[in-house]
């Protein structure tokens, strides 16, 4: 049985430009290298651990104050009948969509669960108050749990949702 792995390596003629292994220098006689010592559990390992990135987004920690204006979600939606879940980065999912070179601006509220129509009524009132009683256009996507509101009301809606604990 011929060793297919080595055979494939022989057939492989393309130079491996991007491989650090293939482009590395050949091994020289060991005397040419400096003497080394391998340290197991060195005291400096804590500095290495500090440099490794976390594998998951860290959960927020309860603090007495949040000066940046961000705050953790407190409501679970039982009182309101709906829930606007936080994103994986623990932010309120309110976004601005721009189309036609910024001519059309649409505020999108995502990650809505529960009674989406009740939330739509509420957000509509908030937006109408912000535009001095003028009626605003909304669109509800029940399946994907999104509400689209015509115009840029991102800051107003985000602050409103935060004040309700979402």
Partner 1 sequence: MANLRDASDKALKLLRTLPRVQIGNLRPNPNSKKPDKRGRAQHGGDKHGAGNKGSGQRQNFMRLGYETGNQPFYLRFPYEPYYKGHHMRRQYPPLSLLQLQVLIDTNRIDISQPVDITTLCNSGLLTLKPAEMEYGFQLTDEGLDNFKAKINIEVQHASEAVIAAVERNGGVIRTAYYDPRSLHILKNPKKWFEKGIPIPQRMLPPQDAIEYYTDAKNRGYLANPEEISKERLVLAQKYGYELPKIEEDASYEMLTAAKDARQLFLGLEPGWLINLVDKTIIKAKTT
- List of residues contacting partner 1 (CB under 8 A): 2, 4, 7-8, 11, 20, 34-42, 44-48, 50-54, 57-61, 63, 65-70, 89-90
C-beta of 24 vs 78, nearer to partner 1:
24
C-beta of 44 vs 103, nearer to partner 1:
44
C-beta of 80 vs 159, nearer to partner 1:
159
CB of 92 to partner 1, least distance (A): 12
Tokens 């999912």 correspond to: 93
Contact indicator for 148, 136 with CB cutoff of 8 Å: no
CB of 87 to partner 1, least distance (A): 11
Contact indicator for 152, 105 with CB cutoff of 8 Å: yes
Cα(24)–Cα(20) distance, integer angstroms: 6
Cα(68)–Cα(102) distance, integer angstroms: 28
CB of 144 to partner 1, least distance (A): 25
CB of 69 to partner 1, least distance (A): 7
CB of 88 to partner 1, least distance (A): 10
C-beta of 12 vs 104, nearer to partner 1:
12
Among 122, 49, 35, residue whose Cα is nearest residue 80: 122
Among 84, 90, 91, 89, residue whose Cα is nearest residue 111: 84
C-beta of 8 vs 101, nearer to partner 1:
8
- What one-character-per-residue DSSP string does 121-149 give? HHHHHHHHHHTTT----EEEETTTTEEEE
């Amino acid at each position: 049985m011929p060793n297919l792995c080595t055979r494939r390596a022989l057939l492989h003629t393309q130079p491996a430009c991007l491989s650090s292994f293939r482009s590395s220098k050949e091994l020289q006689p060991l005397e040419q290298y400096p003497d080394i010592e391998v340290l197991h559990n060195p005291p400096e390992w804590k500095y290495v651990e500090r440099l490794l990135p976390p594998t998951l987004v860290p959960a927020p920690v309860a603090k007495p104050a949040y000066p940046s204006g961000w705050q953790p979600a407190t409501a679970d939606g039982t009182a309101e009948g709906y829930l606007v879940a936080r994103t994986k980065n623990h932010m309120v999912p309110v976004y601005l969509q721009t189309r036609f070179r910024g001519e059309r601006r649409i505020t999108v509220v995502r990650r809505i669960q529960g009674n989406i129509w009740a939330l739509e009524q509420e957000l509509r009132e908030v937006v109408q108050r912000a535009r001095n009683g003028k009626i605003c256009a909304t669109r509800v996507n029940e399946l994907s749990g999104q509400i689209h509101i015509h115009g840029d009301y991102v800051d107003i809606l985000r602050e409103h949702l935060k004040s309700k604990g979402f």
